[in-house]
Amino acid sequence: MSDPFDLPFFDEPGGEPAAPKPAARPPERSAGGGIAARAMAARGGQTQAPDYLSGLNPEQRLAVETTEGPVLVLAGAGTGKTRVLTTRIAHILATGRAYPSQILAVTFTNKAAREMKSRIGVLVGEAVEGMPWLGTFHSIGVKLLRRHAELAGLKSSFTILDTDDVIRLIKQLIQAEGLDDKRWPARTFANMIDGWKNKGYGPKDIPEGDARSFANGKGRELFQAYQDRLQTLNACDFGDLLCLPIRMFREHPDVLAEYHRKFKYILVDEYQDTNTAQYMWLRLLAQRPKSRHDTAPQGGANRPSDRSDAPAQASAGRRDAAVSEKEPQQINICCVGDDDQSIYGWRGAEVDNILRFEKDFPGAAVIRLERNYRSTAHILGTASHLIAHNEGRLGKTLFTEHARPDDSKVMVHAAWDSEEEARAVGETIEQLQRPDENNRRHNLNDMAILVRASFQMREFEDRFVTLGLNYRVIGGPRFYERQEIRDAMAYFRVVAQPADDLAFERIVNTPKRGLGETTIRQLHDIARARGVPMLNAAEDIVETEELKPKPRASLRNVVENFRRWQKMLDNTPHTELAEIIFEESGYTDMWKNDRSAEAPGRLENLKELIRSMEEYESLRSFLEHVALVMDAEQNAEQDAVNIMTLHSAKGLEFETVFLPGWEEGLFPHQRSLDEGGRSGLEEERRLAYVGVTRAKRNLHIWFVSNRRIHGLWQSTIPSRFLDELPEAHVEVEESGSSYGGYGGAFAPGRGGNYGGGAGRQNPYGASRFDNVGSGSFSNTYATPGWARAQANKTSATDRNWGTRSGAGVERIGYGETDSLRGAGRGSVKGRTIEGELVAKSVADTPSAFSVGDRVFHQKFGNGNVAAIEGNKLTIDFDKAGQKRVLDGFVTGV
């Protein structure tokens, strides 16, 4: 309880919170219509609370009603975060504190924005349509830029490039510099640029070291060249959508002041995911200058150009004036987030932003939501215990008031390999889907498989196809990233924005028109030399003799097509135009004539594309949408199991959740450990926490002993996170029998991948199952090294799992000691972590081997020990290269 990070305000969980500060000053607008009257009533007391407040618990209600001043809502998983946000907005609107257009509500993903919009719609009806400033950071950035494009050096018709465009563009630049694009991959540089922009850096701001590390030290020049190129293309990338508004606000305080006047309330969702640029963006908008002069209106010219926020009532103008003249506006920013769910550090998110909130906004109210409405006590207990291993938390503990005795514990299962894992999960799903004795059955929609890395999905998909089990992959290969869709979009882009050279280049020879590299290069050169778009260059060059007759005719045809389509743009329904373009360009024919297996699907996707265009009023607005929203709506019609990554699962919940692949190297992911060290590990742990907290009633965690990585079979060891699960809430599956027959998976030598029939040793040390069954596998225990290891065993010996044949997995017992990481390293201040479930991934005892030892491994052959970490050995094998294995797997030679 005595958490050092505990913040002063709310130290009695569940108790009646005292207001941190006067909830608010009296409402600024007095009198007036019914809305204000309702507001007064709402403020007056609980008795007359409006409906929308009635279902809230005290903490939620406080978060909703503390409308004035800075507020940080720390909302644990499943504590009604979205509800608080949406109700808060409804409350602000209903009490007349602001008009819909005066609320800036930022989310991180499009999904979240949609969700919020629809839920606000439920609360306030039509009024939600008047909220133009509800959206993602990026979409709001676009809106700002379109409006003030000239201040950012763009024309308001600018194009937004996606990752693919960016990489192609950078590649051109690298080649133009005469650099080897193999040694300096465009993708790498694109990532670097993205990283810089996440920090708000322009070419001049990047650290010298960064600049030197790429392109023979020309990183900075290349970055600058890239920005220049974007400007000539009248284009910007994703990062610019954040950086350019920031720059604009800094360089044009008058414009910033406009928005200071405009936005009365700022709300930020998933604050823990904001990166430095987003943080600066928010600070600029939220932090009003102290001096009154800065906020004072500077004349009509600076008024926001859209007047949608100018209420019709005469009182409105008065109110506006009153606010800005009487007192400097205070900062009404409300950030909602959960430090324990910060999982985007790898792309620049700064958990620190949320940890620092109170310093940034002095006097901020901090409200914790810890009452969980989603999961069983077992699941919450598991999640809390797991996340308690992290340092640097603000500290929250979820609780539920709805523990039921018959809730099932969190299940941990083992499988031989990933195929087995998929098969077993499939069987479990089928079992759940079958009607039970009460004739109730689980919907597939209520189940989800959450994987660490997308390559894990394939195995499940394969299995489900075989079983005929419906599934849907969420966030997988994105609709708008498919080749045919991108081609189609490129056609549209050239039609709508004739200067879009990247799009032009993409499709000028798709389908094949005999316009190869040579022709393109010529076009390029002319366009560059004359400073005109390539389409114009093409238009001119076909009138000359410079091209050979064939390409010349072909190119003329292309140009004529585009000119014709451009003329049709304004007087032809855009879906119709799209079909015409596909037909006349020969694009549909191209796929019709394609004999490959994917071709029909691609044609189908093109139809789907046209269908999805119907919702938009014009081709332009459609393009705008697509640039920002790379995912297409999924049809939730059909009952299907959900498969997705842990990252894309954030914010969702399911009755039953499967978490496969809890193995060292995969989860926690090796790369996170390598690149992020301790904080990388903590982020992985938060990811595990996110995964666990997605489950409402049932949670199944899996790990396998063998996994194919980069096409090679690797033996794996259970994730350390398994060590960190609390015994009290977790049950290890005893045997395969309960799910009928996959227990045989543990038979030695199965699958032929494993060096003949010698079988597999128990990687977790000896267990009482080691002597069960026939003993061909046991010979390895006779080695001297093993004997020594045995002799050194401590109480930890008892906590081991067997994975022997037929037995599946069984928990044998628990050590009485604390977790090796909990108490041993004191990873959590002032908190004892007890009763952990143990699947040893790191031995308490030193390895029986030492660096340099010559060893033999059943599968990899002979090698030398290169490094030792606990019981994990890094071995340079003569044939197989360097591998990490458990010492139990090798024998001294």
- Give me the catalytic one of 65, 258, 270, 664: 270
Q: Is residue 137 part of the contact set for DNA (CB under 7 A)? A: yes
Distances (CA, A) of 393 to 201, 669, 673, 679: 28, 21, 19, 12
Residues between 308 and 347 with contacts to DNA, criterion CB under 7 A: 343, 346-347
How many angstroms separate the CA atoms of 177 and 188, rounded? Answer: 16
Q: Is residue 631 part of the contact set for DNA (CB under 7 A)? A: yes
Q: Is residue 108 part of the contact set for DNA (CB under 7 A)? A: yes
How many angstroms separate the CA atoms of 379 and 688, rounded? Answer: 12
Does 770 qualify as catalytic in the annotation? no
599-621 in b/e burial notation, b at 16+ Cβ within 10 A? eeebbebbeebbebbeebeebbe
Q: Is residue 592 part of the contact set for DNA (CB under 7 A)? A: no
Near DNA by CB under 7 A: residue from 57, 82, 110, 557 = 110
Closest CA to 107 of 126, 144, 81, 71: 81
- Give me the catalytic one of 59, 269, 420, 836: 269
Q: Is residue 594 part of the contact set for DNA (CB under 7 A)? A: no
Q: Is 77 annotated as a binding residue?
A: yes
Q: Is residue 881 part of the contact set for DNA (CB under 7 A)? A: no
Q: Is residue 719 part of the contact set for DNA (CB under 7 A)? A: no
Does 269 qualify as catalytic in the annotation? yes
Q: Is residue 645 part of the contact set for DNA (CB under 7 A)? A: yes
Residue among 36 and 450 whose Cβ is closer to DNA: 450
Q: Is 109 annotated as a binding residue?
A: no
Q: Extract the tokens encoding 564.
A: 């014709």
Interface stretch with DNA, choices 65-73, 220-228, 506-514, 726-734 (CB under 7 A): 506-514
Interface stretch with DNA, choices 182-190, 257-265, 303-311, 614-622 (CB under 7 A): 182-190
Q: Is residue 181 part of the contact set for DNA (CB under 7 A)? A: yes
Near DNA by CB under 7 A: residue from 21, 25, 671, 825 = 671
Q: Extract the tokens encoding 788.
A: 């020594």
Helices (H), 586-714: 587-592, 599-613, 619-628, 646-649, 670-693
Interface stretch with DNA, choices 7-15, 89-97, 375-383, 708-716 (CB under 7 A): 708-716
Q: What share of the chain is helix, strand, coil (3-state, %, to 5)?
A: 50, 15, 35
Q: Extract the tokens encoding 337.
A: 């987030």
Give strand pairing partners of 643.
449, 473
| Ramachandran area for residue 852 (φ above 0: left; ψ -120 to 50: alpha; else beta) | left
| Cβ neighbours, 10 Å, residue 635 | 8
Residue among 136 and 418 whose Cβ is closer to DNA: 136
Near DNA by CB under 7 A: residue from 121, 132, 185, 749 = 185
Residue identified by tokens 């007095």 is: 30
Q: Is residue 678 part of the contact set for DNA (CB under 7 A)? A: no
Residue among 453 and 728 whose Cβ is closer to DNA: 453
Does 780 qualify as catalytic in the annotation? no
The kind and range of the H/E element at 254 are helix 253-262
- What's the min distance (Å) between Cβ of 548 and DNA? 8
Q: Is residue 880 part of the contact set for DNA (CB under 7 A)? A: no
Residue among 27 and 665 whose Cβ is closer to DNA: 665
Q: Is residue 136 part of the contact set for DNA (CB under 7 A)? A: yes
Q: Is residue 138 part of the contact set for DNA (CB under 7 A)? A: yes
Interface stretch with DNA, choices 366-374, 513-521, 525-533, 744-752 (CB under 7 A): 513-521
Q: Extract the tokens encoding 128.
A: 């939600």
Q: Is 95 annotated as a binding residue?
A: no
Does 172 qualify as catalytic in the annotation? no
Sequence-distant contacts of 217-221: CB under 8 A, at least 24 apart: 218/177, 218/179, 219/189, 219/192, 221/177
Show the site string, 364-403: x = touches DNA by CB under 7 A, - = not: ----------------------------------------
CB distance 837 to 820 below 8 Å: no
Class of residue 728 by CB neighbours under 10 A (exposed 0-12, middle 13-18, buried 19+):
middle
Total residue count of the chain as it appears in this document: 893
- Give me the catalytic one of 102, 107, 276, 341: 341
- What's the min distance (Å) between Cβ of 226 and DNA? 16
Q: Is residue 512 part of the contact set for DNA (CB under 7 A)? A: yes
Q: Is residue 238 part of the contact set for DNA (CB under 7 A)? A: yes
- What's the min distance (Å) between Cβ of 629 and DNA? 8
In 730-800 the beta strands, taken as DSSP E runs, fall at: 730-732
Would you give the DSSP letter of residue 409? P
Near DNA by CB under 7 A: residue from 40, 316, 355, 630 = 630
| Ramachandran area for residue 835 (φ above 0: left; ψ -120 to 50: alpha; else beta) | left
Residues between 398 and 457 with contacts to DNA, criterion CB under 7 A: 452-455
Closest CA to 478 of 162, 138, 112, 160: 162
Q: Is residue 551 part of the contact set for DNA (CB under 7 A)? A: yes
Q: Is 81 annotated as a binding residue?
A: yes
Closest CA to 159 of 232, 101, 252: 232
- What's the min distance (Å) between Cβ of 752 and DNA? 12
Closest CA to 871 of 750, 786, 798, 748: 786
Does 572 qualify as catalytic in the annotation? no
Residue among 93 and 704 whose Cβ is closer to DNA: 704
Q: Is 78 annotated as a binding residue?
A: yes
Q: Is 79 annotated as a binding residue?
A: yes
- What's the min distance (Å) between Cβ of 329 and DNA? 28
Report residue 34 CA to chain centroid gap: 42
Helices (H), 434-500: 455-467, 483-496
Does 638 qualify as catalytic in the annotation? no
Would you give the DSSP letter of residue 170? H
Q: Please give the full DSSP string across 41-83, using - where no structure is assigned.
A: HHHH-GGG--HHHHT--HHHHHHHH--SS-EEEEE-TTS-HHH
Q: Is residue 778 part of the contact set for DNA (CB under 7 A)? A: no
- What's the min distance (Å) between Cβ of 676 and DNA? 7
Q: Which residues are catalytic?
A: 81-82, 269-270, 341, 694
The annotation places the binding site at: 75-82
> Which residues of the chain form contacts with DNA (CB under 7 A)?
108-110, 136-139, 163, 181-182, 185, 187, 194, 238, 343, 346-347, 452-455, 475, 509, 512-519, 551, 628, 630-631, 645, 647-648, 669, 671-672, 675-676, 708, 710-711
The annotation places the binding site for ATP at: 75-82
